[in-house]
């Protein structure tokens, strides 16, 4: 599953956890919850 960040980027669970960019913090947290 993937999530769309406020910037319009689709972040996949593992990818988001690995990159963990400041702009994706909210998305990463959501992915971790899922």
Per the rule left: phi > 0, alpha: psi between -120 and 50, beta: everything else, 20 is: left
Please give the model's pTM, rounded to 2 decimal places.
0.21
How confident is the model at residue 32, as a pLDDT? 53
How confident is the model at residue 34, as a pLDDT? 47
Name the token pair of 2: 């993937």
**Tell me: the pLDDT tens digits for 1-34?**
566 666 666 655 555 455 555 555 555 555 554 4
- How far apart are alpha carbons 11 and 2 in whole angstroms? 5
């Amino acid at each position: 599953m993937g999530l769309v960040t406020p910037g319009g980027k689709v972040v996949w669970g593992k990818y988001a956890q690995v990159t963990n960019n400041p702009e994706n913090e909210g998305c990463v947290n959501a992915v971790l919850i899922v």
